[in-house]
Each structure stands twice: as structure tokens, then as C-alpha cells.
Amino acid sequence: MKLFLKSTRCDSPKCAFERRDYPPGMHQWKKGKPSSYGIRLREKQKLKRYYGVLERQFRRLFEIAGRAPGNTGDALLSLLERRLDNIVCRLGMARSRAQARQLITHGHILVNRRRVDIPSYLVTIGDTVSVKNRPRSVGMVKLRYEGSTPTIPDFLELVGTDPPEGRVTRLPGGTDVSVPVQVQLVVEMLSK
């Protein structure tokens, strides 16, 4: 499945995604049906790769989601959506989550007017995410806003554009996630 990890250039025919009915190589053999473990593992890996999270970070987030009241799957997706690198990407300040991570670690992003250089920082309701008011920082993000306006999810709002600034209006829910994943399969796999 194409996860569109490399921004919008993956929509072009140059980066087209095609799946053949047979595996690579000159001896075409049919793959067997995936096991139930394989299906659950694939869903977990899809979620990890989409958000750019390593296994240890993912397990820690799952433990926090397990302790939260309510549905564990929705809590896990909410925690993943609240990561600062995801918020920067969803606000349109970066083309991809990898670029958002780089902007954060290099100190170009402020949360509530304080520099935060940890991409896994969890934002809360009312937090303001902005770009450092410095020509180099603003210039990097301005290039992203030229030409197109990003589609911003409901739980975020764009406050200003000079320098770019956004605010978290509410906690994200299960419907705010843009990746097509069956989170129940992920919860079943990790709860063993």
C-alpha cells in the first residue's frame, strides 16, 4: 500500500505505484495467503512507518494509551496525531514528517513561544505552534506556503502566516487520522 510518505510528488506518474501479480525474479511462484499474525504485523508496521516512530517509542505510546480511559485504539491514534512532528506537518509547515522532524531538531519551531527540539513532544489543547521569527527559519517554511494552501484538519487552526503559526483547538480523535489503518488489529497484536 502506498503511504505517501514523500509529500505530494508521489502523486505524479514518475512516482507511480504499481503492483504486479507476481514477485520479482524470473521464477514466478504464488505467495501463500497471509496468516492472521502477518495481517496484524502489517497493520502495525504501516502505522509505525506512516508516523516515523520506532518500535520502542510505539510500545511506550501503546502503554500510555492502554492506561487512558476509553478505547485503546483511539487513544493510541490520538497520541500519534499529537506528536509535534505530525502537528508541524499537518499545519503545512513541512512537506513530510521527516522534514518536520528536521525543522524541529534544528530549532526552527516554537511551542508557546519556547523552542522545542524534541519531535516526539506531545502538544495539548491551546498550544500554539509557530516558526521562530528569524529570516532563515521563516524562509524555509514560506517556501512551503507559496503556491498552495495546505488542507488543515479540524483539530488545528492556522492563526497567522507571518511567521506561520497554528493552534491546537481540541484533541484529535480516531476520525482525524488520515492513514487507512485498522487500529483494532494493532491493539490485538500489541496486547498479547
Shortest CA distance to 167 belongs to which of 91, 99, 114, 108?
A: 91
- Average pLDDT of the chain is 84
How far apart (Å, rounded) are the C-alpha atoms in residues 84 and 95? 14
Within a 10 A sphere around the Cβ of 46, how many other Cβ atoms? 18
Is 1.10.1050.10 the CATH number for 35-82+176-192? Answer: yes
Percent of the chain surpassing pLDDT 90? 44
**Residues 85-129: pLDDT tens digits?**
999 988 888 888 898 999 999 999 999 999 999 999 999 999 999
Q: How much is the pTM? A: 0.81
How far apart (Å, rounded) are the C-alpha atoms in residues 82 and 122? 5
Bridge-based pairing of strands 156-161 and 128-131 is unpaired
Distance of CA 183 to the CA centre of its chain: 15
Helix or strand or coil: residue 69? coil
Indicate the domain borders of the chain.
Answer: 35-82+176-192, 87-168
If you write DSSP's letter for every residue of 40-67 in order, what string do you get? Answer: HHHHHHHHHHHHT--HHHHHHHHHHHHH
User: What number of helices (H) and strands (E) belong to the chain?
Assistant: 7, 5
Shortest CA distance to 106 belongs to which of 119, 121, 122?
A: 119
* CATH T-level fold of 87-168: 3.10.290
**Residues 27-55: pLDDT tens digits?**
777 667 889 999 999 999 999 999 999 99
pLDDT(11) > 70: no
Return the pLDDT at 112: 93
Return the pLDDT at 16: 58
At residue 181 the predicted structure's pLDDT band, cuts being 50, 70 and 90, is confident
More confident site: 6 or 169: 169
How far apart (Å, rounded) are the C-alpha atoms in residues 93 and 44? 27
